[in-house]
């Protein structure tokens, strides 16, 4: 299980990796950095990416409280529809999906964010922790030499193995 420095070193071995950071999205502070920063200042980049991560983790558009209901399959033999007093058929009852809390999920409901620019990719991968789950890995990739799919998968694996202590 890698710590912060080992995690960042491994992230920097990915093809096209330009810079990496582990950031606390609550405070906007970088817990560790490696390589370059898109704007030349790792702390400013950490604060800016933390705002994006915080928005994705907290806004209801990205964190719905319930999953949409699963469409019902048509029955093999159609039951007689219940009717309302106005004579129209009553819509079948739907069971709302489970909430993140009822499923026992920890941390933000967002797994990762990908921002593409003309010259690169930014991947923010959320890390589940035993305390407050307010940490993410930020990887900056060169668009010409980076492999977005590989980086996303490997960053997710790193996030799962990361030990904060």
Provide the pLDDT for residue 92. Answer: 43
Which residue is listed with tokens 């033999």?
77
Domain range for 124 is 4-63+102-161
Query: 108-128 burial, b if ≥16 CB within 10 A, otherwise e?
Result: bebebbeeeeeebbbbbbbbe
CATH code of 42's domain: 3.30.450.30
Computed over every residue of the chain, the mean pLDDT equals: 79
Question: Where is average pLDDT lowest: 19-23, 88-92, 96-100?
Answer: 96-100
Half-sphere exposure of 53 (CA within 13 A, CB side): 30
Q: Is residue 92 part of a domain?
A: no
Q: Is the pTM of this model over 0.85?
A: no
Number of domains in the chain: 1
User: What would the pLDDT profile of 47-71 be if each residue is shown by its tens digit?
Assistant: 999 999 999 888 888 766 655 555 5
More confident site: 161 or 94: 161
Phi, psi (degrees; rounded to nearest 5) at 91 = -70, 140
């Amino acid at each position: 299980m890698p710590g912060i420095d080992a995690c960042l070193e491994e992230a920097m071995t990915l093809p096209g990796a330009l810079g990496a950071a582990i950031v606390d999205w609550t405070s906007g502070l970088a817990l560790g950095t490696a390589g370059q920063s898109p704007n030349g200042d790792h702390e400013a980049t950490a604060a800016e990416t933390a705002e994006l991560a915080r928005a994705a983790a907290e806004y209801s558009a990205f964190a719905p409280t319930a999953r949409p209901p699963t469409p019902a399959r048509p029955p093999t033999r159609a039951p007689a529809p219940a009717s309302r007093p106005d004579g129209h058929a009553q819509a079948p009852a739907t069971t709302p999906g489970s909430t993140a809390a009822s499923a026992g999920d920890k941390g933000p409901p967002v797994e990762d964010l990908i921002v593409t620019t003309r010259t690169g990719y930014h991947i923010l991968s959320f890390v589940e922790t035993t305390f407050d789950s307010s940490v993410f890995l930020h990887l900056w990739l060169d668009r010409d030499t980076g492999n977005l799919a590989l980086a996303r998968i490997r960053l997710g694996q790193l996030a799962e193995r990361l030990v904060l202590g």
